[in-house]
Chains A and B, each alone.
Chain A
Amino acid sequence: DAEITQSPRHKITETGRQVTLACHQTWNHNNMFWYRQDLGHGLRLIHYSYGVQDTNKGEVSDGYSVSRSNTEDLPLTLESAASSQTSVYFCASGRGTGELFFGEGSRLTVL
């Protein structure tokens, strides 16, 4: 079965460290997205990509970066982790109809 997987599912890191969250989908979807979920803010868009070599900033992109070197993967990098980036991160993918499918989430704690 095609799917979308995130890793790691849980991570604890220290302020200032670089962190990369992986997202891999096997549906061959062109569109991929990263969201973060925080109490009181719901799900907010961080970065997104509509295809290989395409990346775009979402509403809360400061401190994050993504790269898209193939169709299957969109890793999210925190260059220098901050406590404000403690959150649950969700990756999603879709064909372009607007219907999105989400991974199981990655819980990141920055101490």
Chain B
Amino acid sequence: AQSVTQPDIHITVSEGASLELRCNYSYGATPYLFWYVQSPGQGLQLLLKYFSGDTLVQGIKGFEAEFKRSQSSFNLRKPSVHWSDAAEYFCAVVPLTGFQKLVFGTGTRLLVSP
């Protein structure tokens, strides 16, 4: 079945440590790929997106993501986490079916410890 998987429900990282959030998708053709973040009380904000080209994508707030076709993955990374990064992160895809709806993973909640 077509799906987006975020295997980690919660992750705790120390401030200043590196971060990697995992995302795998299961689609026949590589969909458009996105990472969104939701901070408490806020709407979802786009961090970055991948459609084609360079497989390492730079986003806002110092985040980057790497597309790996062989692994059907689009993992999000940040070299040094700040306390303000504590939020819920969503991986999402737009399948290449002609419709524009986002299909989301279940989200990963990031906790940042001092």
Our verdict on whether A and B bind, yes or no, reads no
- Which B residues are closer than 8 A to A by beta carbons? none
